[in-house]
């Protein structure tokens, strides 16, 4: 019988799709992430691999299973997989794009608003020493109306963020390899600019670009020095797009007013320096952590395995 290895707990709906199609499913349900040793042991003889982006699928793993016909990544990213090597073996690698757009855009919007209005700081204050009462100059944040939102990466998520923040009367500037069509720019009230211009103009700068060789440490000490000292930085893309050591220095020195991070350079590790700062919000990679998004992702990976098993091409091949 054709078999599938699922390396982390995923919605039951995906397992139902697989079993109803006649596939034998083996699921890892241990504590924490599956280890490489466990993955190497379990993958032998499996036809399809369904794995979250937190699991590394390198050459050793790919070579351990001569029967492997598909690697279905449960996540929009796929930096955890050696997709180029898989291609040399004739193994398609797929991801789950698009379905994370709404959730990630909503999380980004929430982080922007929460950071500007110091809501996490306020919650901490009320849970500890409290406050003496309303005062004209007490605990001031900033309104977003009239401010400039800079977006690095204007794909589906970037556009969804622009749409939401334009409703807060923010000016939108963005950068990526190529400008959007004029009609799309007009609908979002967004203006194309160079990376340097976006960095310099932004009151809030949010990242929605992929992680690759060109974007690794896209923002570092030079870029932070060029930003307004009143600016906020949001990262719900990929951790290594930011040089975190440089960001921590910039926050400590007052080069930036604050940051909100949902992803981390050495994830899941978070530098203790960020934890000590009141003007930093830290969330545990929850960009697409909604029932709706995760169910949609589950359907994609399961149906892709079924498609390949039935002789069809899977959706969203990345290699």
Catalytic hit among 118, 164, 208, 238: 238
Q: What distances in angstroms separate CA 274 from CA 106, 199, 248, 280, one per listed residue?
A: 23, 22, 7, 7
The yes-or-no answer on residue 217 being catalytic is no
Partners of 27 in beta bridges? 6
Cβ(52)–Cβ(29) under 8 Å?
no
Measured distance CA(81)–CA(283) in Å, rounded: 24
- Tokens standing for residue 257: 């007013």
CA distance 317 to 296: 17
- Is the Cα dihedral 300, 43, 263, 148 positive or negative? negative
Known active-site residue 267: yes
Decide if 43 contacts 60 (C-beta within 8 A): no
> Rounded distance, CA 259 to CA 279, Å?
7
- Report helix, strand or coil for 19: helix
Residue among 87, 117, 217, 285 flagged as catalytic: 285
Q: Is 238 a catalytic residue?
A: yes
201's tokens:
């103009």
Known catalytic residues are 238, 267, 285
């Amino acid at each position: 019988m054709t078999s599938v290895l699922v390396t982390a707990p995923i919605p039951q709906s995906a397992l139902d799709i697989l079993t109803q199609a006649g596939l034998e499913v083996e699921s890892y349900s241990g504590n924490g992430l599956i280890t490489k040793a466990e993955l190497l042991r379990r993958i032998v003889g499996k036809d399809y691999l369904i794995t979250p982006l937190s699991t590394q699928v390198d050459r050793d793993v790919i070579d351990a299973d001569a029967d492997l016909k598909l690697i279905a990544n449960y996540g929009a990213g796929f930096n955890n997989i050696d997709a180029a090597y898989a291609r040399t073996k004739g193994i398609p690698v797929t991801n789950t794009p698009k379905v994370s757009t709404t959730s990630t855009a909503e999380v980004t919007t929430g982080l922007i608003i929460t950071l500007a209005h110091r809501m996490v700081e306020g919650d901490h204050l009320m849970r500890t020493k409290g406050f003496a009462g309303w005062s004209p100059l007490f605990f001031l944040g900033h309104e977003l109306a009239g401010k400039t939102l800079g977006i690095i990466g204007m794909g589906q998520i970037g556009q969804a963020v622009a749409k939401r923040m334009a409703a807060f009367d923010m000016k939108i500037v963005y950068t990526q390899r190529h400008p959007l069509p004029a009609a799309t720019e007009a609908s979002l009230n967004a203006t194309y600019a160079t990376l340097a211009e976006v960095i310099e103009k932004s009151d809030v700068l949010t990242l929605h670009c992929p992680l690759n060789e060109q974007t690794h440490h896209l923002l570092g000490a030079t870029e932070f020095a060029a930003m307004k000292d009143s600016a906020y930085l949001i990262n719900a893309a990929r951790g290594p797009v930011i040089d975190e050591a440089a960001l921590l220095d910039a926050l400590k020195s007052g080069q930036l007013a604050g940051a909100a991070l949902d992803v981390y350079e050495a994830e899941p590790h978070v530098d203790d320096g960020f934890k000590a700062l009141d003007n930093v919000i830290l969330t545990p990679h929850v960009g697409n952590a909604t029932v709706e998004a995760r169910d949609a992702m589950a359907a994609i990976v399961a149906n892709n395995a079924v498609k390949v098993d039935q002789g069809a091409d899977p959706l969203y091949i990345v290699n």
